[in-house]
């Protein structure tokens, strides 16, 4: 990877089990929140200690290269006559629900002599209490050895196991157990490193060793008062069995991951160039690791997102919406799992509105909306109704099966009527991009309503309601024509709000007209918008709208898809690539940053980077 990654993924499984680094062996390893999450890596070369991971008193190995593909990060080091290769792999395969859930990651270490001499090399990996406590010192961790055939294993956990006792954004797990294992016979135990209680595995390696890191959170989610377990436990599998299974299938699973990664990179390069492929490669593990897959008492899959470094909301609709392209491409069941909590909550007596809710809780407590205390002034009516209908329609089109829409028809119909009533010229209300303040007559909200109506018209026709579908599509076309007439600027581009001549905004919601080939907007719409975006472009992107210089990474690549010429698409992706390549704030991909400086405004590690995959949906 040519990009200097803003943060390097190491062990990335879910919102709690998540380890990153900004500098592989010069700084502590971190949780995505920025809190220290130290895992210490040491090699003893002919008796002399060198560090390859995190930061301690040992001399650092020279880092020769850092590379990444979709599932793995590979780091090459040199010191004392050897070249060490560390391959960190989190095999979270989006195409397979079990592997998308199983909380086991790998570290493969191998070395070769580069000075022609034989060397004795001992590798040691130490996991600190920070992985099982919110912060070091908050409570007390303990450890014990674990018996697994063919492996040496030790686990660490908090002494006070208060499972699922709280929710929050900038918080980390302090229940469950972290397991560290290595192949064959090894020394295991506990010790204090850099003032932290740690467990470790240490073994002499004959050229290579395979370490495994796993986390059993016991229960993963509270869902309307009921504790749910992770999907991987469906058949009663224990974490010890999962670790052993992961060890046995390392080579075959890595082959599957490599095949997926190679195809993704080839597809992305063909559609959008090498920089686009690198953006998707970096985004994939982040998107997967900001979700948790669980199963409810009725056997329904629920794929719960965490709105990371925003407010910690769970199953947020306007976070699901931008993340959807990755799941529409690879596994619609996971996208359905994001929407099921919204449908369930909307059918309860607690939800008193005739539009879709924003969220269903704060991670990991999914018991009902927490955003805005359920007050009307904080709701996003057109935003969330449009999001839900567009997503369900997109799922049905991708599957060639409209049963998911049929099962939730009553709510979709109610939300469609809301769009018809309020979507032509939306009143003063919140939307997902109100960072500079919300406003009335929002053109992007109008576009969302139009595409939501078109999506439901398609659902109606496929469910045998052809006349109703044609009537609704005609209304969508009427609203689209009104948009063109009322939102046009003198240069042919379109406004931020109907009453603000000369302004602009990224019209990302219109991308569905191109994907679905609905023909609601004239060809000149896309052409004129692209020309305006090119004029407004700053060194690291196109601002979200006329009011500020910041942008959103997801929406930037959605509007880039309006371009007919590949070179125009590559122009916009190049701006985003440059932003991440130069960003001084070293955190997992932010989606909200300044286009003149590349500096982060806020947000990090959010699932919305799944939206970067949208170009792959276009023919």
Q: How confident is the model at residue 319 (pLDDT cuts 50, 70, 90)?
A: very high
Which has more confidence, 429 or 171?
A: 171
Distance CA 407, CA 393 (A): 13
Residue 531: partners with Cβ closer than 8 Å, 6 or more residues away? 491, 492, 493
Q: What is the mean pLDDT of the chain?
A: 97
Q: Has residue 460 got a pLDDT over 80?
A: yes
Q: What is the CATH number of domain 8-224?
A: 2.70.98
Spatial contact of 499 and 535, defined as CB atoms under 8 Å apart: no
Give me Rg for the CA atoms of the chain: 25
Spatial contact of 592 and 552, defined as CB atoms under 8 Å apart: yes
Q: Has residue 433 got a pLDDT over 90?
A: no
Q: Has residue 428 got a pLDDT over 90?
A: no
At 606, is the secondary structure helix, strand, or coil? coil
Give the DSSP H or E segment for 280: helix 274-289
CA–CA–CA angle 479, 480, 486 (5° rounding): 85
What is each CA distance from 110 to 25, 43, 353, in whole angstroms?
Answer: 17, 11, 58
Instruction: Supply 550's token pair.
Output: 């910041």
pTM above 0.85, yes or no: yes
Q: How confident is the model at residue 378 (pLDDT cuts 50, 70, 90)?
A: confident
What is each CA distance from 120 to 76, 83, 117, 186, 206, in whole angstroms?
Answer: 18, 13, 10, 15, 8
Q: Has residue 437 got a pLDDT over 90?
A: no
Q: What is the pLDDT of residue 438?
A: 82
Spatial contact of 539 and 575, defined as CB atoms under 8 Å apart: yes
Spatial contact of 182 and 149, defined as CB atoms under 8 Å apart: no
Distance CA 318, CA 307 (A): 10
**Which among 442, 330, 342, 440 has a CA at the least distance from the CA of 97?**
330
Q: Has residue 350 got a pLDDT over 90?
A: yes
DSSP state of 111: E
Q: What is the pLDDT of residue 373?
A: 77
Q: Has residue 215 got a pLDDT over 90?
A: yes
- In the chain, ranges of CATH 2.70.98 domains: 8-224
Tell me the percentage of the chain whose pLDDT exceeds 70: 100
Q: What is the pLDDT of residue 181?
A: 98
CA 36, chain centre distance (Å): 21
**Polymer length in residues for the chain:** 619
**For 494-522, what is the mean pLDDT?**
97
Q: How confident is the model at residue 376 (pLDDT cuts 50, 70, 90)?
A: confident
**For 143-167, what is the mean pLDDT?**
97
Q: What is the CATH number of domain 300-617?
A: 1.50.10.10
State phi, psi for 565 to the nearest 5 degrees: -95, 135
């Amino acid at each position: 990877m040519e990009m200097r990654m803003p943060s390097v993924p190491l062990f990335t499984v879910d919102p709690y089990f998540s380890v990153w680094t900004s500098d592989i062996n010069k700084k502590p390893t971190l949780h995505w929140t920025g809190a220290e999450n130290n895992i210490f890596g040491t090699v003893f070369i002919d008796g002399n200690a060198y560090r390859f991971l995190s930061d301690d008193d040992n001399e650092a190995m020279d880092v020769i290269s850092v590379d990444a593909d979709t599932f793995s990060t590979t780091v090459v080091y040199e010191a004392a006559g050897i070249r060490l290769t560390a391959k960190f792999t989190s095999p979270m395969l989006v195409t397979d629900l079990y592997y998308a859930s199983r909380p086991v990651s790998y570290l493969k270490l191998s070395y070769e002599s580069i000075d022609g001499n034989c060397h004795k090399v001992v590798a040691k990996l130490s996991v600190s209490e920070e992985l099982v406590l919110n912060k070091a010192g908050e409570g007390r961790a303990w450890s014990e050895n674990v018996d697994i055939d063919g492996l040496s294993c030790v686990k660490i956990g908090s002494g006070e196991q208060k499972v699922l006792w709280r929710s929050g954004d900038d918080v980390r797990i302090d229940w469950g157990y972290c397991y560290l294992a290595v192949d064959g016979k090894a020394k295991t135990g506990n010790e204090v490193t850099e003032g932290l209680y740690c467990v470790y595995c240490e073994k002499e390696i004959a050229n290579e060793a395979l370490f495994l890191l796993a986390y059993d959170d016991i229960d993963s989610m509270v869902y309307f008062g009921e504790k749910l377990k992770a999907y991987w436990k469906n058949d009663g599998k224990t974490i010890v069995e999962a670790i052993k299974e992961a060890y046995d299938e390392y080579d075959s699973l890595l082959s599957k991951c490599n095949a997926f990664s190679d195809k993704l990179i080839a597809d992305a390069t063909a559609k959008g160039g090498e920089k686009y492929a690198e953006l998707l490669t970096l985004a994939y593990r982040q998107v997967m690791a900001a979700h948790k897959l669980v199963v409810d008492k009725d056997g329904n899959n629920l794929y719960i997102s965490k709105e990371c470094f925003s407010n910690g909301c769970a199953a947020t609709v306007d976070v699901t919406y931008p993340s959807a392209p990755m799941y529409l491409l690879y596994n619609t069941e996971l996208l359905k799992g994001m929407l099921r909590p919204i449908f369930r909550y909307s059918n309860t007596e607690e939800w008193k509105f005739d539009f879709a809710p924003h969220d269903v809780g704060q991670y990991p407590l999914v018991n009902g909306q927490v955003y805005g205390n359920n007050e009307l002034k904080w709701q996003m009516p057109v935003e969330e109704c449009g999001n839900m209908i567009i997503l369900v329609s997109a799922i049905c089109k991708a599957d060639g099966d409209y049963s998911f829409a049929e099962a939730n028809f009553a709510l979709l119909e109610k939300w469609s009527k809301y769009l018809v009533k309020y979507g032509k010229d939306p009143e003063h209300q919140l939307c997902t991009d109100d960072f500079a303040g919300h406003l009335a007559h929002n053109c992007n909200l109008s576009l969302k309503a139009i595409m939501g109506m078109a999506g439901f018209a398609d659902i109606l026709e496929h469910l045998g309601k052809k006349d109703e579908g044609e009537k609704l599509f005609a209304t969508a076309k009427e609203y689209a024509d009104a948009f063109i007439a009322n939102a046009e600027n003198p240069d042919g581009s379109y406004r931020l709000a109907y009453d603000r001549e000369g302004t602009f905004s990224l019209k990302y919601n219109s991308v569905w007209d191109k994907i679905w080939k609905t023909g609601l907007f004239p060809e000149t719409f896309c052409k004129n918008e692209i020309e305006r975006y090119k004029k407004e472009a700053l060194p690291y992107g196109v601002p979200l709208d006329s009011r500020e210089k910041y942008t959103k990474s997801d929406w930037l690549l959605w509007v880039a898809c309006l371009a007919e010429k590949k070179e125009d698409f590559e122009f916009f992706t190049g701006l985003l690539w440059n932003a991440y390549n130069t960003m001084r704030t070293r955190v997992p991909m932010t989606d909200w940053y300044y286009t003149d400086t590349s500096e982060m405004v806020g947000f990090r590690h959010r699932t919305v980077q799944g939206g970067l995959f949208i170009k792959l949906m276009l023919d």
